[in-house]
Amino acid sequence: VTDPTLHDVGEFAVVSRIQQRLGDVGAIVGPGDDAAVVSAADARVVVTTDMLVEGRHFRLDWSTPYDVGRKAAAQNLADIAAMGARSTALVVALGAPRDWPVSAVEALTDGLRDEAEVAGAVVVGGDLSGADAVVVAVTALGELDGRAPVLRSGARAGEIVVLAGVLGRAAAGLALLEADERTGPLVTALVDAHRRPHPPYAMGPALALAGATAMIDVSDGLLADLSHIAVASGVAIELDEDWPSEGDLGATRGAAQLLGVAALEWMATGGDDHALVATLPPGTPIPPGARRIGVVTRAPRGGVTAPGTAMSVAAGTGWEHFA
């Protein structure tokens, strides 16, 4: 059995294979030239970039290259949604060792393409380079369709805080992998949530249309990301006593018992599910797919409190990459 490497096949031939897998993406100019050209119908483009590094953001013994492609795309597509926008296109810079199989690059490409499709976007270009570890840097572009972008800074005291998407499942899955617990349907579902998050992309524009005054995707953890909104808006946020959803608690409680930890902590501090949290003026009908989890208050500015638990955040803290 032969599984040719990047070195065996060579850069130009690998790039050609990647382009074949992407197919006709329907962009104004797609992959294969110096740059791509993408529609930006309302004369503005939303843009974000995020890098995933092997050994830091993923392990290739825990995630397949296909999973890594899905996750790298999801993380960026969620950032576009958090502006109230819909994603249109991705470009991807991939660094990989010369002895990496071409089939792995193809699988990673498939993952990027498939996750982009979930959000209604296409992969329009990229760059392939040598590197000692696998590094995937994705840039996502999006359209606001004439709406104003929803920033972190628009929350006002008296508004409500709403959540779309799941919390704590990816963190539970990662904890299970770290503890070498991999058996049973419960474990599989949570580990899959770590490998391939499912951000609620369509809820970004839906919450914007509903009147969201501030929005963020949960990438550092619910409390930390709410704190980003609180700091940027000069407000405080107080979670309702019943903010944890029964669904998320139910999914993670078994794993928490197995590992002897608190499921609630995964939900409050786990980041990789890429849920969306937004603030809405009081009395605004909450769109289907979102639910209320708290209120915006005046003080202490930048703080986030979760009554009934010992957890709180003083100001913009969360996952630190260099800790």
Least Å distance between CB 75 and its own copies? Answer: 9
Shortest Cβ distance from residue 68 to its own copies (Å)?
Answer: 14
| Minimum distance of its own copies from residue 43's CB (angstroms) | 5
Residue 43 vs 183, nearer CB to its own copies: 43
Taking the C-alpha atoms of residue 185 and residue 191, their distance in angstroms, rounded to an integer, is 10
CB of 315 to its own copies, least distance (A): 10
CB 301 within 8 A of CB 253: no
CB of 278 to its own copies, least distance (A): 12
Six-digit token string for 162: 């709403």
Helix axes 246-259, 169-178, angle to 10 degrees: 10
ω into 200 cis (within 30 of 0): no
CA distance 268 to 261: 13
Q: Would you say 109 or 252 has its CB closer to its own copies?
A: 109
Are the CB atoms for 172 and 266 separated by under 8 Å?
Answer: yes
| DSSP-based three-state secondary structure for 256 | helix
Nearer to its own copies, 81 or 236 (CB): 81
Q: What is the nearest approach in angstroms of its own copies to the Cβ of residue 42?
A: 8
> Element (H or E) spanning 135, and its range?
strand 135-143
Extract the tokens encoding 307.
Answer: 């009554």
Residue closer to its own copies, measured from CB, 9 or 258: 9
b/e per residue 108-144 (b: at least 16 CB within 10 A):
bbbbbbebbebbebbbbbbebeeeeebbbbbbbbbbb
Q: Which is nearer to its own copies, 214 or 263 (CB)?
A: 214
Crossing angle for the helix pair 185-195 and 169-178, to the nearest 10 degrees: 110
Nearer to its own copies, 13 or 257 (CB): 13
